[in-house]
């Protein structure tokens, strides 16, 4: 079942490639509990089929990087990109997209969290296995406030669409 507005995010973990070691976070892939990351925060989350894919690299991620300051000006604490890739790939993609420090590139390598959201998609016919549907959501303290899923293309889940929803 697909997560709905008003639902709490499911329990789960996501991984992030950390570029600079800090207390509690070592250099390289670090795994985080979603519930801990969202506690008390307003977060824009967008999911997409895969790192380095055309639509994701040309339009989806760049839109959120470009509009990050405007989104944060609306009271958003963080912006996350979730993809069914490993943390090494997500880290490299973040560097390539100049998203480091702007958009958290969160890895869901086994699609466990994506499946728990009910936002997984079977791309086996294209040789890509289980991936994510293209979506965006606003989450406040772990509760979904908005959810937009694109059936095709990048429209409802775009940064521009999210900005309109944030007012």
Region at 54 (left for phi over 0; alpha for psi -120 to 50; beta for the rest): alpha
Predicted local distance difference test score (pLDDT) of residue 27: 65
Predicted local distance difference test score (pLDDT) of residue 102: 97
How many CB atoms sit inside 10 A of residue 61's CB? 26
Residue 138 β-bridge partners? 44, 146
pTM for the model: 0.93
User: Can you give the residue range of the structural domain that contains 62?
Assistant: 7-16+29-166
Mark out the alpha helices in the chain (DSSP H runs).
Answer: 34-38, 54-55, 61-66, 68-72, 87-96, 112-117, 159-166
DSSP-derived pairing of the beta strands 13-18 and 120-122: unpaired
pLDDT under 50: residue ranges of the chain: none
Task: Please provide residue 21's backbone torsions phi and psi, each rounded to the nearest 5 degrees.
Answer: -65, 135
* Structural domain count of the chain: 1
When the pLDDT of each residue in the chain is averaged and rounded to a whole number, the result is: 94
Q: What's the CATH number where 75 sits? A: 3.40.30.10
Q: Give 84-132 pLDDT, tens digit per residue.
A: 999 999 999 999 999 999 999 999 999 999 999 999 999 999 888 999 9
Task: Please provide residue 44's backbone torsions phi and psi, each rounded to the nearest 5 degrees.
Answer: -95, 125
Q: Is 24 inside any structural domain?
A: no
Q: Is 22 inside any structural domain?
A: no
CB-based contacts of 37: which residues, under 8 Å, 6+ apart?
14, 43
The beta strand positions in 11-162, using DSSP E, are: 13-18, 28-33, 42-48, 78-83, 104-107, 120-122, 130-132, 134-140, 143-150
Burial of 13 (0-12, 13-18, 19+ CB in 10 A): middle
Predicted local distance difference test score (pLDDT) of residue 86: 95
Q: Is 73 inside any structural domain?
A: yes
Predicted local distance difference test score (pLDDT) of residue 25: 66
Catalytic residues: 56
**What proportion of the chain, given as a percentage, has pLDDT over 70?**
96
Q: Is 23 inside any structural domain?
A: no
Predicted local distance difference test score (pLDDT) of residue 130: 93
């Amino acid at each position: 079942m697909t997560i709905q507005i008003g639902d709490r995010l499911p329990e789960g973990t996501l991984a992030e490639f950390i570029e600079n070691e800090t207390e509690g976070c070592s250099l390289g892939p670090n795994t985080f509990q979603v519930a801990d990351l969202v506690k008390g925060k307003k977060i824009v989350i967008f999911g997409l089929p895969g790192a380095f894919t055309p639509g994701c690299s040309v339009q989806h991620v760049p839109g959120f990087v470009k509009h990050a300051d405007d989104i944060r000006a609306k009271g958003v604490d963080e912006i996350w990109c979730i993809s069914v890739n490993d943390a090494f790939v997500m880290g490299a993609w973040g560097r390539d997209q100049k998203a480091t420090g702007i958009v958290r590139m969160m890895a869901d390598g086994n699609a466990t969290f994506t499946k728990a959201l009910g936002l997984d998609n079977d791309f086996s016919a294209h040789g890509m296995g289980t991936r994510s549907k293209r979506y965006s959501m606003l989450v406040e303290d772990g509760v979904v406030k908005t959810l937009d899923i694109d059936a095709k293309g990048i429209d409802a889940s775009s940064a521009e669409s999210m900005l309109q929803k944030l007012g």
